[in-house]
Amino acid sequence: MMIRTPAVLLLAALACPSFAHAAEPAPSELLTDAARSKAEAGLALFQQARWSEAYENFRIAEELFHAPSLLMRMAHCQRELGHFLAARVLYRRVFEERLKSNAPPAYLEAQADAQAQLALLKPRIARVRIALADIDSATAQVTLDSVPVALAPAVLELDPGEHHVEAKATGAEAAELRFTVAEGADKTVSLTLRRLEEKIVVVNKPAKASLGLAPGLATLGLGIAGVALGGVTGGLVLGRVNDLEAKCGGFTCPRALEGDKNSASTLATVSTAGFIAGGVGIAASALLLSLHFAGRQAADAPKRASVALSVTPSGGSVVVQW
Residue 101 placed within a domain? yes
Q: Which of 8-12, 136-140, 142-146, 269-273 has the highest mean pLDDT?
A: 142-146
Of 80, 96, 123, the domain-final residue: 123
pLDDT digits (tens, 9 = 90+) for 94-120: 999 999 989 889 899 999 999 999 999
Whether residues 177 and 117 fall in one domain: no
For residues 249 and 113, which has the higher predicted lDDT (pLDDT)?
A: 113
- Whose CA is closest to 10, among 58, 64, 70, 91? 70
Whether residues 108 and 179 fall in one domain: no
Q: How confident is the model at residue 1 (pLDDT cuts 50, 70, 90)?
A: very low
Q: How confident is the model at residue 2 (pLDDT cuts 50, 70, 90)?
A: very low
Q: Average pLDDT in the 273-284 region? A: 67
Mean pLDDT of the chain: 76
Residue 208 placed within a domain? no
Q: Dihedral sign for Cα 93, 40, 60, 88, please.
A: positive
The half-sphere exposure of 178 on its side-chain side, counting CA atoms within 13 A, is 2
Whether 31 has a pLDDT exceeding 80, the answer reads yes
CA distances from 63 to 32, 60, 109, 238 (A): 11, 5, 20, 128
Q: How confident is the model at residue 269 (pLDDT cuts 50, 70, 90)?
A: confident
pLDDT digits (tens, 9 = 90+) for 138-197: 778 899 999 998 876 678 999 999 999 998 988 888 889 999 999 999 999 888 888 887
Whether residues 46 and 89 fall in one domain: yes
For residues 23 and 44, which has the higher predicted lDDT (pLDDT)?
A: 44
Whether residues 249 and 287 fall in one domain: yes
Residue 274 placed within a domain? yes
Residue 201 placed within a domain? no
Whether residues 30 and 58 fall in one domain: yes
CATH number, domain of 181, equals 2.60.40.1120
Residue 52 placed within a domain? yes
Omega cis (within 30) before 148: no
Burial of residue 214 (number of CB atoms within 10 Å: 0-12, 13-18, 19+): exposed
Q: Average pLDDT in the 222-233 region? A: 65
Whether residues 119 and 139 fall in one domain: no
Residues 6 or more apart from 306 whose CB is under 8 A from it?
320, 321
Whether residues 11 and 119 fall in one domain: yes
Whether residues 69 and 106 fall in one domain: yes
pLDDT value of residue 23: 43
The total domain count for the chain is: 3
Whether residues 166 and 188 fall in one domain: yes
pLDDT value of residue 300: 46
Whether 69 has a pLDDT exceeding 90, the answer reads yes
Q: Could you list the residue range(s) of the whole structural domain that residue 17 is in?
A: 7-123
Whether residues 102 and 157 fall in one domain: no
Whether residues 239 and 285 fall in one domain: yes
pLDDT value of residue 151: 75
Whether 22 has a pLDDT exceeding 50, the answer reads no
The half-sphere exposure of 94 on its side-chain side, counting CA atoms within 13 A, is 29
Phi and psi at residue 140, to the nearest 5°: -95, 150
What does pTM read for this prediction?
A: 0.56
d(CA 19, CA 80): 28
Of 103, 123, 143, the domain-final residue: 123
Whether 264 has a pLDDT exceeding 90, the answer reads no
pLDDT value of residue 154: 74
Beta-bridge partners for 133: 192
Whether 42 has a pLDDT exceeding 60, the answer reads yes
